[in-house]
Amino acid sequence: MNTRATESLGFRQALESLAPRIRLTLETAREVVKRPSALAGGILLLVILMASVSFPVLYHTDPLAQDLLARFTPPVWQSGGVWSHPLGTDNLGRDVLSRLLYGSRVSLLVGFTAVFVAELVGIVLGLISGYYGGKTDSFIMRIADIFMAYPFMLLTISVIAVLGPSILNLILVLGISDWVTYARTIRGSVLSLKRKEFIEASRAIGTHNIIIIIRHILPNVISPLLVLGTLRVANIIIWESGLSYLGMGAPPPMPTWGRMLAEGRVYIGDAWWLVTLPGLAIMFTILSINLLGDGLRDALDPRLINL
């Protein structure tokens, strides 16, 4: 009984300490929704996410099933199109719509998780670098310089070429190559924050450094990273499709937008839909993320409105 009372008290305290943060989140959401372009981006992204998640349930044509008799069936609105393949079929008679839907899962999965990996690495190194300073700081920043000086695309291509293409490798390589921006941003905010009185006060009463970093510094420096992260998802998805196009993305026969474009490129004269539709899918996904990201940035940081 007693323990349960303290537990619920603990929960209540936790909830109360979270309240300002929840309020801030709600306010941000309201700011984002107020901007029509950001709202449109958000809705578009939501639609894409839902289509991607609900894929095998609502539309259950196998993306790998071949039907050589139905090769190069055009989309349904063109003469020769059929309703069983609304967006047509490819050179092996595979259904384009289900391949697009499957491809959206690969792109979104890689995009979001790679950014998560990059943020994780960047935040940890940035916090350490900014908080401890000195030799640790200059060591981490020198490594960051080297990463910055290395053309990103080449780094990922060469590492994937050696490790072999797989979704996990793709996430790790894209994530680890992209940590520098986050680390630098965090480091900058930490540097200015750590001279504030409340940090000095908690250091004076003997709070452990790790606790200061996690409880007092991290919550105050994380919001710019949210914006940065959203916009980076767009870039990562473009890179993922590029690597896929080159044959270095997810391993075959997994359908990805990049691979669909590479395969369609061969039949560019015969089947326009094979090279057009996957590109449109990438473009609308990126556009929705960019619109939402711009809105988030404006909402969180009004100083940047015109940029």
Partner 1 sequence: MLQYILKRLWHTVYVVIGISMISFFFIHLSGDPVLLMLPGDASDQEIEELREQLGFNDPLYVQYVRFASKAIRGDFGESLYYHVPVMELVIERLPASLELAVAAMVFALVLAVPIGIISAVRRGSMLDMGSMLGALLGLSMPHFWLGIMLMLLFSVHLGWLPTSGRGTMAHLIMPAVSLGLSLMAMFARLTRSVMLEVLSLDYIRTARAKGLREEIVISKHALKNALIPLVTVAGMQFGFLIGGTVIIETVFAWPGLGRLVIQAIFSRDYPLVQAIVFVLSLLFVGMNLLVDILYVYLDPQISYSEEK
Tell which positions 140-169 bind partner 1, by CB under 8 A: 142-143, 145-146, 149-155, 157-159, 161-164
Nearer to partner 1, 124 or 159 (CB): 159
Q: Could you count the other beta carbons within 10 Å of the beta carbon of residue 255? A: 26
Nearer to partner 1, 30 or 142 (CB): 142
Of 187, 181, 178, nearest to 221 (Cα)?
187
Q: Which of 20, 134, 206, 269 binds partner 1 (CB under 8 A)?
A: 269
Of 162, 215, 165, nearest to 193 (Cα)?
215
Q: How far apart are CA 218 and CA 211, in angstroms?
A: 10
Site string (288-307) toward partner 1, x via CB under 8 A: --xx--------------xx
Should residue 234 be labelled a site residue for partner 1 when binding is judged by CB under 8 A?
A: yes
Choose the binding region for partner 1 from 21-29, 52-60, 77-85, 263-271 (rule: CB under 8 A).
263-271
Nearer to partner 1, 212 or 227 (CB): 227
Residue 118's Cβ-side half-sphere holds a number of Cα atoms within 13 Å equal to 31
227: exposed, middle or buried (Cβ count in 10 Å: 0-12, 13-18, 19+): buried
Least distance in angstroms from the C-beta of 98 to partner 1 = 20
Should residue 276 be labelled a site residue for partner 1 when binding is judged by CB under 8 A?
A: yes
Q: How far apart are CA 50 and CA 45, in angstroms?
A: 8
Contact (Cβ atoms closer than 8 angstroms) between residue 215 and residue 288 = no
210: exposed, middle or buried (Cβ count in 10 Å: 0-12, 13-18, 19+): exposed
Should residue 286 be labelled a site residue for partner 1 when binding is judged by CB under 8 A?
A: yes
Nearer to partner 1, 157 or 167 (CB): 157
Nearer to partner 1, 286 or 299 (CB): 286
Rounded to 5°, the CA angle 79-80-83 comes to: 105
Choose the binding region for partner 1 from 55-63, 126-134, 188-196, 242-250 (rule: CB under 8 A).
242-250
Q: How far apart are CA 87 and CA 78, in angstroms?
A: 10
Least distance in angstroms from the C-beta of 291 to partner 1 = 7
Q: Which of 84, 215, 268, 301 binds partner 1 (CB under 8 A)?
A: 268
Collapsing DSSP states into helix, strand and coil, what is residue 9?
helix
Q: How far apart are CA 118 and CA 114, in angstroms?
A: 6
Q: Which of 51, 191, 238, 300 binds partner 1 (CB under 8 A)?
A: 238
Choose the binding region for partner 1 from 64-72, 96-104, 128-136, 272-280 (rule: CB under 8 A).
272-280
Nearer to partner 1, 97 or 236 (CB): 236
Q: How far apart are CA 88 and CA 77, in angstroms?
A: 10
Q: Which of 81, 86, 188, 242 binds partner 1 (CB under 8 A)?
A: 242
Should residue 261 be labelled a site residue for partner 1 when binding is judged by CB under 8 A?
A: yes
Total residues binding partner 1 (CB under 8 A) = 45
Please provide the distance, in angstroms rounded to a whole number, between the alpha carbons at the two ends of the chain. 57
Q: How far apart are CA 160 and CA 218, in angstroms?
A: 33
Contact (Cβ atoms closer than 8 angstroms) between residue 38 and residue 294 = yes
Q: Which residues bind partner 1 (CB under 8 A)?
A: 142-143, 145-146, 149-155, 157-159, 161-164, 234, 238, 241-242, 245-248, 261, 264-265, 268-269, 272, 275-276, 278-279, 282-284, 286-287, 290-291, 306-307
